Amino acid sequence: MESATRVFKSVCRSCHGGCGALLHVRDGRLLKIEGDRDSPLSHGRLCPIGTVTVDLVNHPQRLKFPQRRAGPRGSGKWERISWDAALDEISARLLAIRERFGPEAIALGTGTGRHHIRWVSRFGHALGTPNWCEPGFAQCFHPRVNTCLLTFGDFPVCDYTGGTPPRCMLFWGHNPIHSGPDGETRFNVREALEHNPKIIVVDPRRTELAARADIWLQVRPGADDALGLAMLNVIVGERLYDAAFVQAHTHGFDSLAAHVARFSPEWAEPITWVPAEKIRAAARLFAATKPSMLEWGCAIEHTPKCIQTVRALSMLPVLTGNVDVPGGWVFGARAAGRFPSLIENLTPEASARRLGADRFKMLGGEGADLPAAHIPTLLQAMREGKPYPVKAFLVFGNNTLATYANAKLVHESLMQLDFMVCADLFMTPTAELADIVLPAAAWPELDQIVGLPTVAANVVLAQQKVVQVGECKPDEEIFVALARRMKLPVGTEDVKDVLNAQLRAGGLGYDFDALAARGFAEAPLTYRRYESKGFKTPTGKIELYSTRLEKMGYPPLPGYEEPPESPFSAPAVAQEFPLVLTTGGRIPFYFNSEHRQIAKLRRAYREPRAEIHPATAARHGIAEGAWMWIETRRGRIRQKAKLTDGIDPRVVNAEHGWWFPDEPGPEYGIWKSNANVLTDNGPPYDPQMGTYQLRGLLCRVAPAT
Ligand code: SF4
């Protein structure tokens, strides 16, 4: 007899996520999803990706059982095996590699900040290896987190839930109403926009936000640092700053003022391609309108001067007194509790062997909130065995070939491994290179908590396991099962015990089951905590002049540097590749490289599109909607031309994350339109973070016949 349909509260994680969801489930099968109107973040809304969760979960191409490679690596030949056989084999191979080469010869990888990201590092730490990585750690979000921890002692987020709407919103390299990893922000932003704030947009493209902005600064990709410094110059030079706040709560203002005096808007104009008067107008508007907030995105983190760019931009809300105030930037309650990463299981010697830690202290050393390995150095260790060999790579939820820079070099590196495991929802070109593929659970198939906004965690939401598909297992349970099989000293507790410990540390007063029944819990927001507690920095103030950066041997004040591959820094290359490439902008129907299996989404957005100015397209004989080649020194790809005068004639915007699950494996068209064929992961790197240049690279275009 069929049982009744039940409705469970949950939280969508089809992106980093946070939209409240109601799951209609019968006999362990997902029948329907709808937005949860009670959600304090999304108020019942879901984006196109969340709306098709039933299609994702019940997709016929889901991986449903473990498989072992049955031919040469990458040959596309697989045999079904049991979970016991898979876990036994993984345990035995990892123990053998650890015994022979040391634990650091085992690396772990993941992609995006989903439910299991912290569990990947936790398992690595339990195993004794410091080498785990995620493509965003040097390039996306974490540079902002680590920089702000040094500058503020905490990570500020925009105040959308406190009831005071911002009167000015500055969107910098960020288009959250269409995209953004924490997707629920799109709804928060749309609600804030209903109050008609002044809008400033910094973006090379005329996005929907740029089109409705009061001021649109069409910056040259990769020149954000110069633009930020010029805005600081105006705010300081014209005395637009909040003198009382700056005097009482910041450290190093006089040094900063002297430092930015040289970065006038006229100095910045030829570098940024933004007229000086527009820079002035934007700085004046941001400073004069309170409360103001800065919504920033990963576009500012895609060059080797990433940390200093973030530093410069972070000072705009500081100087204008928009920190920890209603409707401005606020600090979170951190109500999710600190995740037990088990990093204490690593000895200092083991931590010191983290790849890249000796050079990039804010990525892998003392300046990192959660230290991670440097990906180019890790790939080199796979290929060349230097500085020591990395023999095994365990990838949990990441299509590495689509999401790491310089995809051809990544492929070459992965092919050198002795042992590779991939856990994912679907077979991917990356999983095809593995020795063992594990079927991972999708978000309605697992118990987890998430604190949002990310890091701040003012709202804590629960997702609960209410669906079972095939033999799929949550990544978290795979880690626990492996830790037990390998008899690791830590990391063997039940998943729910870990979640409960984390919730206890957060202090909200709910255990996991109680939170799951409610769906979410909110922590009260408090403002101006600095008045009684100061800031958690060495000086107790916001460090405009960073004593910690100085102590680590890095510049204490932000400067300007030209990206290594640009029309100005590499004029000889620009002769052959005269256009500036930007990439990484999101598509509302896909999250990074995911979701292209889902027919409804593919119908809405079938093929990759590259934006190009009509004059540039005409010069190269490229017609609207035609396939065109985009080529850099690394390789070339094809995307369909989208002609728009909303992009500078000197710039091309290529979409990222493209592969074609509907094309034959094992490659699934990974080399056709993948923007990471074009990008580079070589030096020079950001001295603090190890960041490489993903934006503002030089390219050329041609019709693809
Ligand atoms: S924005 Fe993210 S969390 Fe919200 S519905 Fe879309 S995919 Fe899900």
Provide CB contacts within 8 A for 270, sequence distance 6+. none
pLDDT digits (tens, 9 = 90+) for 260-292: 999 999 999 999 999 999 999 999 999 999 999
Amino acid at 58: N
Atom number of ligand 1 nearest to Cα 14: 7
Distance 112 CA to ligand 1 centre (A): 14
Q: Is the C-beta atom of 147 inside 6 A of ligand 1?
A: no
Which token pair is 40? 């304090």
Given this model, what pLDDT does residue 112 score?
83
Q: Is the C-beta atom of 46 inside 6 A of ligand 1?
A: yes
Question: Could you tell me which CATH class the domain 6-57 is placed in?
Answer: mainly beta
Q: Is the C-beta atom of 50 inside 6 A of ligand 1?
A: yes
156-331 has the same fold as 67-134+343-448+467-490: no
Which token pair is 108? 């772990």
Determine what percent of the chain is predicted with pLDDT higher than 70: 99
Q: Is the C-beta atom of 177 inside 6 A of ligand 1?
A: no
Nearest in space to 653 (alpha carbons), one of 587, 590, 570, 597: 587
Instruction: Quickly tell me which residue has 């978000």 as its tokens.
Output: 443
Q: Is the C-beta atom of 19 inside 6 A of ligand 1?
A: yes
- Ligand 1, atom 4, lies closest to the CA of 19
Q: Is the C-beta atom of 17 inside 6 A of ligand 1?
A: yes
Given this model, what pLDDT does residue 2 score?
66
Q: Is the C-beta atom of 35 inside 6 A of ligand 1?
A: no
Give the mutation target among 13, 14, 594 for probing the ligand 1 site: most ligand atoms within 8 A of CB: 14
Provide CB contacts within 8 A for 599, sequence distance 6+. 55
Atom number of ligand 1 nearest to Cα 11: 3
- With beta carbons less than 8 A apart as the criterion, state whether 432 and 480 touch: no
Positive/negative CA dihedral, 349, 410, 299, 579: positive
CATH topology of domain 571-703: Barwin-like endoglucanases (2.40.40)
Distance 453 CA to ligand 1 centre (A): 13
CA–chain centroid gap for 134, Å, is 9
Nearest in space to 298 (alpha carbons), one of 382, 180, 406: 180
- In the chain, domain spans: 6-57, 67-134+343-448+467-490, 156-331, 571-703
Give the mutation target among 11, 16, 19 for probing the ligand 1 site: most ligand atoms within 8 A of CB: 19
Atom number of ligand 1 nearest to Cα 186: 1
- b/e sequence 282-298, b meaning 16+ C-beta within 10 Å: bbbbbbebbbbbbbbbb
Given this model, what pLDDT does residue 1 score?
62
Given this model, what pLDDT does residue 335 score?
87
Q: Give the residues across from 451 on adjacent strands.
A: 460
CA distance 635 to 648: 23
Q: Give the residues across from 294 on adjacent strands.
A: 170
Nearest in space to 606 (alpha carbons), one of 529, 653, 658: 658
Which token pair is 579? 């256009």
Distance 19 CA to ligand 1 centre (A): 6
Q: Is the C-beta atom of 12 inside 6 A of ligand 1?
A: yes
Give the mutation target among 39, 43, 47 for probing the ligand 1 site: most ligand atoms within 8 A of CB: 47
Superfamily of domain 156-331: Dimethylsulfoxide Reductase, domain 2 (3.40.228.10)
Atom number of ligand 1 nearest to Cα 591: 7
Q: Is the peptide bond before 291 cis (omega within 30 degrees of 0)?
A: yes
- Ligand 1, atom 8, lies closest to the CA of 50
In CATH, the number for domain 67-134+343-448+467-490 is 3.40.50.740
Given this model, what pLDDT does residue 369 score?
87
Distance 53 CA to ligand 1 centre (A): 10
Distance 155 CA to ligand 1 centre (A): 23
Distance 146 CA to ligand 1 centre (A): 26
CA distance 144 to 131: 21
pLDDT digits (tens, 9 = 90+) for 421-432: 999 999 999 999
Q: Is the C-beta atom of 14 inside 6 A of ligand 1?
A: yes
pLDDT lower than 50: segments of the chain:
none
pLDDT digits (tens, 9 = 90+) for 593-623: 999 999 999 999 999 999 999 999 999 999 9
Q: φ and ψ at 57, to 5 degrees? A: -65, -45
Task: Count the Cβ atoms, other than its own, within 10 Å of residue 480.
Answer: 23
Distance 51 CA to ligand 1 centre (A): 8
Give the mutation target among 12, 114, 589, 594 for probing the ligand 1 site: most ligand atoms within 8 A of CB: 12
DSSP-derived secondary structure for 21-82: EEEEEETTEEEEEEE-TT-TTTTT---HHHHTHHHHHT-TTS--S-EEE-SSTTS--EEE--
CA distance 292 to 158: 9
